Structure 1
Amino acid sequence: MFAKYLEKVAGDIFGQENVEAKVDGSNYMVTLVIWFKEINIENSAEQQHLIRDLFVRVRFNLLGNKVCNLSGIDINRATYTEKELSESYMFSHSNASSRSNSFAGGLCFGDTQLKQFIMNMMKDNAVISVYPLLSALNEYFRWESLEGTPYKRIDSVINGRSSLGSRARKPLVSQISLNRLIVECENIEYSYTNNHVRYENKTKNRIRLTNKCIEEIDGKLTSAFPAACFYRNNGVSYSNINSMTEYYKEGQEVIVFKGEIIKRKIIKDEANQPQGLRIHCEILDEVVNGLEERIYNKILTKKLEENYG
């Protein structure tokens, strides 16, 4: 009875073809599955990213034939782009990884009305709150709250910010002359306090490197750290893609939805990357740190000359 009610309410919100409710008598549970075949997630930085084949399970405990309370909400995905795999991205407000093939909870709801719905429904009879809960979930999966500090950011998928690790970036930068790296520094701003030089945050985005410099960085990075295939945001290094798809269990069953076996799939990224090469953000951090040190040394030298020259 409750399963049919769930399907009716969820179908009105998500479409009947995208929902299924099942009763598990052995576990005294009703599970509603919602299939977002394609959903755009956006944030306040005006970025957006298309998420494919997101499955959301909303589970309710049963007491006899009556609903007792909300048991939990977890998610999984069937389709990933190569870049989502490289960035370990499943959904912004989940600590789950795209490299796993199982349903996972760990969703962060922040200090929101949705969180209150969930907390109340876990304590009390959940029937009366089903519609507002599902309506709120429909909005939740479409928005990345940058102010709420997401576990993962769509920016990492858009701009390729997978961590390189210090064993790659520090030796790399030390091999390259900063004099040849920096080509254009527009309106650089920095502060000097307590014998420390610090660039203003916005400065980092104003540093531009030539393609030749970035190609040199790419070459050194590849030789120093071959496993870092995703070191810049103009796409994936396809040299290792076959082993990657095999390692991340492409073709493995994710869920059975309305009798259909949904399997894990990995697809190529769309050709929507920015024109030109862009240095990895962690490499850029090291470049900025090097510039700060150079400026500090110049200031220190100037002070010594003024005092003792």
Structure 2
Amino acid sequence: MTKDEQLAFEAALLVRAAAIETELRLLLDGRTLAGEIARPERLMAAMRHGVLNGGKRLRPFLVMESAALFAADGEAALRVAAALECVHCYSLIHDDLPSMDDDDLRRGQPTVHKAFDEATAILAGDALLTLAFDVLADEATALPAERRAALLLALARAAGAGGMVGGQTLDLEAERNRPGEAGIIRLQAMKTGALIRFACEAGAIIAGAAPQDRDRLAEFGSAVGLAFQLADDLLDLTADVSQMGKATGKDAAAGKATLVALHGTNWARAQLHGLVKQAHELLEPYGEEAALLKAAASFVAARNS
């Protein structure tokens, strides 16, 4: 990625992140919706703490830019992107719990269970997951009903037992019984990759694009997801707390199975190069319209936090 491409990507990421931040604040205010009875303030404060605490908003960016390939990055895409970020942030809140990774810091701030308490953190995560599906089902997400249904199904599959939650289960099991390479790839494709894959596929669904476009964007998302996890595992070994905004070195200390632990850092960096190349090639049919998505793939592989 050239310097100009990097600057263009970083500027676009900031613009998208600001739009998502505004949308999330609206979704997490205290006003009740039709059918709701009340929104307890402590619960809402915990939800806001877990969501409105910075972060690059990469997954929402991928939703918006994938939709932009088909000129569909409007208000509906923004709401879908915000819904996905709610799922992602719920997963972080639960992942930080004492019964999971037991982390005190997230994005440089106290985790939700530290800022509030464990029970409130669990409930905040539950509520964020539910809110995501509320947003997608709501007619305010102004898409044809069949597209909203397709998004609901795709996100449920990406987030549930066969996706992210199942991957977290495999990750916990891997601390006791370390899997081989195939098992690690499956674990990571579920725990980390599934939501990133959905983020890219969602743009095609939002736009009502052809099935082959949806498949191509999903494959792109799979490559980006694996690159993201490889880069994350490298950073866990090489970065410090000030860079990451959370504890580092915990995977190695816990004996967690990672591809970096299995093959070493040089192998991982070579794999990252190959994954970026694969991701870029998948986007070739879209020409210059895919420039920012290509830059996102390069950014994921080269990130330092």
**TM-score, structure 2 length as denominator?**
0.24
Structure with greater strand percent: 1
Structure with greater helix percent: 2
Bigger relative contact order (CA 8 A; separation at least 6)? 2
